[in-house]
Chains A and B, each alone.
Chain A
C-alpha cells in the first residue's frame, strides 16, 4: 500500500492523473515519487507536493490518500484495477472514465466524479459535486456501467446521458437529475430538485422523497406497489410512475413515492 499525504496546503489546482493504481503498479517507491504532476502551470514531481510512504505488508487498498485533496484533480482517472481510498475531500474528475477497480472517498468529492464511467465502484461517504457520473461538455455518452454510491447529497446535473449502471444517492439530489438519460437506474433516498429526468428517453429514476416539481412533459402511467433497484434490492412503494420525456418521445420512467408526493395526486384523474 502506498500512502500519500499533502506536504502543504495548496492554492492552485493540481492535476495528478498519475495517482492511479495502474500507473503505480510495478514501480518502485522512488519511481513513484518522481512521477510528474502539475501545480498550476508548473510541472513538479509527486514528491514535491506530497509525502509518500510504502507499507509492503498491506495489499489493499493499493493507495491511501489522507488529508485535504480538494484541489487535486483527476485521481484514478481511467483506472482499470485496484483500490484507492481517500480519507478527506477530493477534487474534480475523480475516477473519471473508471473502467474497473474501486475508489472510496471518506469525505466530499468534486464535480465530474465518475464521469463517463464504464465499470467499477465509486463510494462517496460525503457529498458529491455537480456533474457526478455525467460526461464531458458536448458529449452524449454518459455513464455506461458500474456503481456509484453517494451517502450524502449530490449537486446538479447528475447522471446526464447515463446509459447503464446504477447511481445510488442516500441524500438529496440537485436539479436536472438524470438529464437526457438513456438507460440505467438512479435511486434517490431523499428529495429531488426541479427538472428531474428532463429530456430522458430511457432508464429509470426512483425517488423515495419529495419531487420539488415535475416537468410538464411527463405523463402519468400507473401506480406501482414496488420497484426493483437492481437484481438484489427493491424499493417499497406505492409509487406514481411517470413516463417521459414526451417532448423527446422518450420512454424513461420516474418513480415518485406516493406517500411523500401529495402534490402529484392531481395526476390521479388521468389514471
Chain B
C-alpha cells in the first residue's frame, strides 16, 4: 500500500524545512520530494540502515550482549543513582517532550545537565546573555532583507536549503524581481552540468583564479553596487556558499573579532589607525560598511566559525554589537545558524523550567548555571563526574579525545537509534525510535518557532521512544531512591552517603577483574 504524506518536517538541521512530501510503501519510506541531499540520506536510506539498534544491550565481560528493556532500565537507573555526580548530555535530536522529562530526571538525580549546544552555538547563547540580540524569524528576512551576510558559516553544506528557503533565493513581499532571474540563470546552468562546476564558472568573471594569500579581489567589488538582494560571505576559506555569493571576503583564521571591531568603528564614522585588519584592507571594509548602512534591511547569519575559533562567545558578542550599532542607521538583524534540528528546543525547554539554556547543575537542589563549570567538556576534562548518560547525540564522533577518555573511565549509558560511535562505546545501550520519522513531537526551528514533527512510519517492534525510556528511568530512579531511604531508615544508618559511595561501582575495578 502506497501513501503520500505532505508537509513532513525534515529532522536534520535548524532550518526544519516542513514542506517534504514523503511516499510510504509497506511501512517504509521509498521516495521523498523537496528535501536536500542530507535529508534524503536520512529519511530514505539512513533511518533503515543495518546499523540500527533493535534491542537494549549491556556490556558484560567487555562485550555488549542483548538484554530485556526492563533489565536495561534498572541497570541504567542503578548506575545513575549510585553515582555521586552523573552527567546527562545530548538531547538535541530529541523532541522537546523528551527534553522536558530530561530536566525532571536531572533534578531528581541532582546531576549535571548539558546539551550539544555547548559544543556548537552555546557561545551564541552566552553572547546573547551578555548583550541581547536583535533578531527576527526567517520569514521576516525572506520578505525584507536586501543584504544577506553569511559570516563564518557554510549553509551550502550544513543548512543546504537555507539560502533557497529563507534568504537570497526566495521571493518575499518586498524583495523580489532581480533575484528570480538570478536563480533561473543558475538553474539553467545546473541542468546542463553539475551545479558546482556551473557556479564556479559564473564566478570566474569576478575573481582571478590565482589570487595571493591575502585573497582579496583586486578589482573593486562591482557586485556590491548591484540592485536588489546582495549576498556577502565572510569566511577563512572559500566555500561553496562563497561561490554563489555576490562578494566574498577571506579573513585570516581567528581574526573575526578584530574585523567586527573595525566594522563597528567604520559604521559609526570613525577612523582607524591601521591599514589592514585580519588580512582585509580597511578600504574594503569601508565599502562593506557603506553597503551595510545603505541596506534597507540587513541580516547577518553566523556559524561555528565564530563560536569555535579563538574568542568564541566574544566573537558573537561583537557580531551582535555591530548589528545593534547598525540599527541606529537602518534595520539589521543577526541570527545564529543553529545545527541540530532541535538544539534551539533544548535551550528553550531548559530555559522555561530552570531559567538557563544549558550547562546546568542540580547538585544543590536548585538549578545552577555556568558554562566552563558545568559544561560537558569541562566536567569531562577535569574528570568531575562519575557516570554519563548520552541521549540523541554522538559525542563519540564529536568530542575531543581527551574528554571521551575521561568519560569512558566511568559507566556510560547511551540512548540512540543507531550504532553511532558513542553507542559502540556504551555500557548500557538503549535502542530508540527516530524522532520525526517514527515518533511525533515538537521541535524548535533556529528562530525558535515551534514546529510539529510527524510520525511517518511505525518503529520496529519493541523499540521504544526516547521519551518513554527517560520516563521509565526516572520512575526507576524514584523507586530505587525510595527503597534506599527505607533501608537506611530501618538500619538507623546516618551516614548513608558513605555506604552509597562504597557501593558505587568503579568500572576500572571491574575491568581489572576481567
Contact = CB atoms under 8 A, between A and B. Distances in A.
State the main secondary structure of chain A at its contact with B. Answer: loop
Interface stretch (B54-62, B169-177, B494-502): B494-502
A175 B311 contact: yes
A41 B110 contact: yes
Given A48-B495, A215-B258, A216-B277, A40 B85 contact: yes
A247 interface: yes
Interface string B369-413: 111110000000011111000000000000000000000000000
B386 A11 contact: yes
A56 interface: no
Nearest to B264: A247
A199 B258 CA distance: 11
Interface stretch (A58-66, A130-138, A231-239): A130-138
B129 A12 contact: no
Contact of B265 (A38, A137, A216): A216
A216 B84 contact: no
B458 interface: no
B85 A267 contact: no
B191 interface: no
Interface stretch (B43-51, B225-233, B266-274, B437-445): B266-274
B261 A217 contact: yes
A194 B278 CA distance: 12
Contacts of B268: 247, 249
A270 B273 contact: yes
A12 B384 contact: yes
Given A11-B383, A40-B363, A48-B497, A220 B372 contact: no
Interface residues of B, number: 46
A5 interface: no
Contacts of A255: none
A90 interface: no
Contact of B85 (A13, A44, A195, A217): A13
B372 A131 contact: yes
B153 to A, nearest CB: 22
A198 interface: yes
B92 interface: no
A84 to B, nearest CB: 21
A71 B363 contact: no
Interface in B463-514: 495, 497-498, 500-501
Interface string A242-271: 000111010000000000000000110010
A98 interface: no
A111 interface: yes
Interface string A15-54: 1000000000000000000000011111110001000000
B484 to A, nearest CB: 12
Contact of A195 (B257, B372, B383): B257
Contacts of A41: 84-85, 109-111, 362-363
Contacts of B498: 48
Interface in A91-130: 92, 111, 130
B296 interface: no
A166 to B, nearest CB: 24
Contacts of B110: 40-42
B310 interface: yes
B495 to A, nearest CB: 7
A15 B386 CA distance: 16
Contacts of B130: 137-138, 140
Contacts of B210: none
A263 to B, nearest CB: 11
Contact of B84 (A42, A215, A270): A42
A42 B126 CA distance: 29
A13 B111 CA distance: 11
Nearest to B361: A13
Nearest to A242: B273
Given A44-B497, A48-B495, A137-B126, A216 B262 contact: yes
Contact of A12 (B257, B318, B362, B386): B386
B72 interface: no
B314 A40 contact: no
A69 interface: no
A198 B314 contact: yes
Contacts of B384: 11-13, 71
Given A41-B111, A215-B258, A216-B258, A138 B364 contact: no
B321 interface: yes
A38 B84 CA distance: 10
Given A41-B362, A48-B495, A137-B370, 6 more contacts: A11-B84, A176-B311, A195-B258, A198-B314, A219-B271, A220-B273
Interface of A: 11-13, 15, 38-44, 48, 71, 92, 111, 130-131, 136-138, 140, 175-176, 179, 194-195, 198-199, 213, 215-220, 245-247, 249, 266-267, 270
Q: Top 5 closest A-B pairs, CB basis?
A: A41-B110, A40-B85, A40-B84, A12-B85, A247-B264
Interface of B: 83-85, 109-111, 126, 129-130, 257-258, 261-262, 264-265, 268, 270-274, 277, 310-311, 314, 318, 321, 325, 362-364, 369-373, 382-386, 495, 497-498, 500-501
